[in-house]
Structure formats: C-alpha cells, structure tokens
C-alpha cells in the first residue's frame, strides 16, 4: 500500500503569493527567531515566537511547493521539529537549528540568478552567523554576562539586517519548481559552522580564556586549513592535485552501473536471440543494489523477476515495457 500523502495547505494562488514575496517570509522568519532568542529562552513568550518562526520557515522554505503534495512522514517530521523548538528551550538545539538554516540558505544560493535575491540570502546568512557566534555560543560558554554592549548590539542592532531584507524586493520570483539546494554545499557549510562553534567552545573550556580570542583562533585555524586544502586540490605546479587524484580514483572504481553496462555488452555478444538477451539482461539488472524486482512486457510475452514493491519506475522503449521495483522511491 502506497504511503499516504497530504496536500500542502497552499492553493496555487496562495503559492504564487508566497513566491512573489519570498523576502517577506524570510525577513519575518528571522525577526520571529530574534524575538524568541534575544531575550532568553524558557518562557512562554519565547516558545510562542519559536513556533511562529517555524511556521514562517515552512512558508519560506525552498524544499517543497506550496501547491504540491507533502508526504505524511515529512509532515510528521515538521510537527516534531516544531514541538522540539518550542518545548525544548535549549541553546544547543538553537545552535544546531541556526547552523542548519545557514547551510540551507548557503546551499540554495547557487540556484539563485537575481542579484537582489542573492543579496537577501547573503544578509540572512550574515544575520544567522552573527546571532550564532555573538549570542548563542556565548550563552553555551557562559561568557555573555555583564557585556551590556554585546547585549544591546544583539537585541537592537541585529534586527536591522532582517529589516533590510524585509524592504528588499526580489527581482526574480521563485520558479514554479522548488529552488535547487546543493547538498554538497549545504553539508560543507554545516560542517564548517559546526567546527567553528565546537572549536571555539573547546578552546574556551580548555584554556579558560576569553571567548572572542577563542573565536579568532578558531577562525584562523579554519582559514589556514581551507587555504591549504584549496592549494592541495589544485596546485600551481608539480603535484597534480587532489582533485585529479580523486577523479582518477572514482573513474577506476567498478561502479555498479558501470559493471552492469559491461556485462550487458558481454551478453549482447553471446546471445543472438532477443528473448534470451532480454531475460539475461533482466537478471543482471536485478543484481544492482537498489533494484528489488522487475516486470517486463513485449508484444510476444511478459516476465517477472524478484519481489515487487510499492515503489517502482516505469519505462517504455518501443515495444518493451519495463517496470523497476525498488525498496525506496527513486
């Protein structure tokens, strides 16, 4: 039985409104987050704003359409995250959420073509990093008490960034499809932010030093590591670079699809009859790790191999109809 789906609560007209006012939802999402965190956690006021923040995040998020269909598992995950944010009242959870938001915004920037939209994303990432490093991490390190200047900067200075996004109109509305979020960029950004936060906390706890000094040391270490890695990936002379070595390694590895194509060519040389070639090709296709079962049909006959699952993909090649069943949705 197929997994039930629920339709997202935005009709096409409403979805178009969200697409045209994407910066509005982004700014309101940041302002709600600011109201929930700048004056502390653990109060009903903060929990209400966190819940409003997550609702605005769902309006803005670039992963699903407003007029598309949302799987029940995704809806349950969204409800679970909202409950955790509103009820946990944990600075660690807020730090994790800010790092994830930064990674999501940064991972979506390569798919943005408009200059204003890219500027809005840059400002949003700047706000999230500033809130994380100036306010949330010091709360974890216990280094914020008595810093009146920092408190005033966070409470009354950082919202200006969100207000700038609020009055910034996007010159390129979101397309009908969701913005492509680069998974590699997002993971790299999340790991860099996590390394920055955890490295600063380790230095503070180990050396019993000032937080700003520990943050500067961590930034310097990460910067040197990135410079060294970028040079090793593509040096000017001599060594070929890690990128070419990695490419050669990946091309030399026997990938499942590559092995199947090679076997298919061998079968084509051995089998002269179309029926025998088809049966042998289906057997080798089922050997792929992500394939559970197969169904095929021709004008003369039909066949089946392996267990059939609820998730499948259908392909038509002239007189051949092929259905590939997998454990998960392709």
Percent of the residues in the chain that have a pLDDT greater than 90, as a whole number: 24
If asked whether residues 282 and 160 sit together in one domain, one would say no
- Is the pLDDT assigned to residue 271 strictly greater than 90? no
What's the rounded mean pLDDT across residues 292-321?
A: 86
The answer to whether residue 272 sits within a structural domain is yes
User: Of 179, 197, 222, at which residue does a domain stop?
Assistant: 179
Backbone dihedral region for residue 142 (phi beyond 0: left; psi -120 to 50: alpha; all else: beta): left
Given a contact cutoff of 8 angstroms between Cβ atoms, the answer to whether 26 and 112 are in contact is no
Tokens representing 16 are 């178009």
The answer to whether residue 125 sits within a structural domain is yes
- Give per-residue pLDDT as tens, 79-107: 888 888 888 788 999 999 999 999 999 88
Residue count of the chain, please give it. 330
- Is the pLDDT assigned to residue 184 strictly greater than 90? no
Angle 115-131/159-166 helices, nearest 10 degrees? 160
If asked whether residues 80 and 170 sit together in one domain, one would say yes
- Tell me which residue range forms the domain holding 114: 5-179
CA distance 197 to 179: 28
If asked whether residues 14 and 152 sit together in one domain, one would say yes
Burial classification of residue 255, based on how many CB atoms lie within 10 Å of its CB (0-12 exposed, 13-18 middle, 19 or more buried): exposed
DSSP conformation letters of 180-201:
PPPHHHHHHHHHHHHHHHHHHH
Strand 69-71 relative to strand 311-317: parallel, antiparallel, unpaired?
Answer: unpaired
If asked whether residues 123 and 32 sit together in one domain, one would say yes
The answer to whether residue 245 sits within a structural domain is no
User: Of 138, 163, 179, at which residue does a domain stop?
Assistant: 179
- Is the pLDDT assigned to residue 11 strictly greater than 50? no
The answer to whether residue 155 sits within a structural domain is yes
If asked whether residues 260 and 175 sit together in one domain, one would say no
CA distance 110 to 81: 27
Tokens representing 69 are 């269909």
Percent of the residues in the chain that have a pLDDT greater than 70, as a whole number: 78
Rounded to 5°, the CA angle 77-82-84 comes to 95
pLDDT band at 66 (very low <50, low <70, confident <90, very high): low
CA distance 11 to 130: 36
DSSP 156: I
Tokens representing 287 are 């050997």
Given a contact cutoff of 8 angstroms between Cβ atoms, the answer to whether 91 and 136 are in contact is yes
The answer to whether residue 246 sits within a structural domain is no
CA distance 119 to 231: 28
More confident residue, 179 or 281: 281
If asked whether residues 175 and 291 sit together in one domain, one would say no
The answer to whether residue 201 sits within a structural domain is no
- Reported as half-sphere exposure (CB side, CA atoms, 13 A), residue 195 has a value of 15
- Work out how many domains the chain is built from and give that number: 2
pLDDT for res 266: 87
């Amino acid at each position: 039985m197929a997994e039930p789906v629920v339709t997202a609560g935005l009709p096409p007209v409403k979805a178009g409104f969200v697409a045209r006012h994407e910066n509005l939802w982004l700014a309101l999402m940041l302002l709600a987050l600011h109201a929930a965190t700048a004056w502390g956690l653990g109060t009903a006021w903060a929990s209400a704003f966190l819940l409003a923040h997550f609702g605005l995040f769902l309006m803005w998020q670039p992963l699903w359409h407003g007029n598309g269909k949302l799987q029940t598992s995704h809806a349950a995950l969204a409800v679970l995250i909202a409950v955790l944010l509103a009820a946990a009242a944990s600075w660690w959870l807020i730090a994790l959420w800010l790092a994830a938001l930064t990674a999501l915004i940064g991972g979506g920037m390569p798919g943005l073509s408009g200059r204003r939209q890219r500027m809005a994303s840059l400002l949003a990432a700047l706000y999230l990093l500033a809130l994380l490093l100036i306010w949330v991490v010091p709360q974890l390190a216990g280094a914020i008490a008595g810093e009146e200047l920092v408190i005033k900067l966070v409470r009354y200075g950082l919202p200006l960034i969100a207000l700038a996004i609020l009055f910034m109109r996007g010159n390129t509305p979101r397309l009908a499809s969701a913005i492509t979020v680069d998974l590699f960029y997002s993971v790299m950004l999340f790991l860099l932010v996590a390394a920055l936060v955890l490295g600063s906390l380790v230095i503070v706890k180990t050396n019993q030093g000032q937080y700003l000094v520990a943050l500067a040391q961590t930034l310097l270490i990460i910067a040197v590591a990135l410079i060294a890695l970028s040079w090793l990936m593509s040096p000017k002379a001599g060594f070929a670079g890690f990128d070419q070595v990695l490419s050669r390694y990946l091309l030399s590895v026997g990938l499942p699809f590559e092995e199947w194509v090679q076997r298919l060519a061998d079968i084509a040389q051995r089998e002269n009859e179309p029926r025998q070639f088809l049966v042998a090709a289906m057997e080798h296709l089922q050997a792929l790790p992500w394939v559970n079962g197969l169904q095929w049909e021709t004008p003369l006959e039909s066949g089946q191999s392996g267990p059939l699952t609820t998730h499948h993909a259908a392909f038509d090649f002239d007189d051949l109809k092929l259905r590939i069943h997998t454990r998960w949705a392709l």
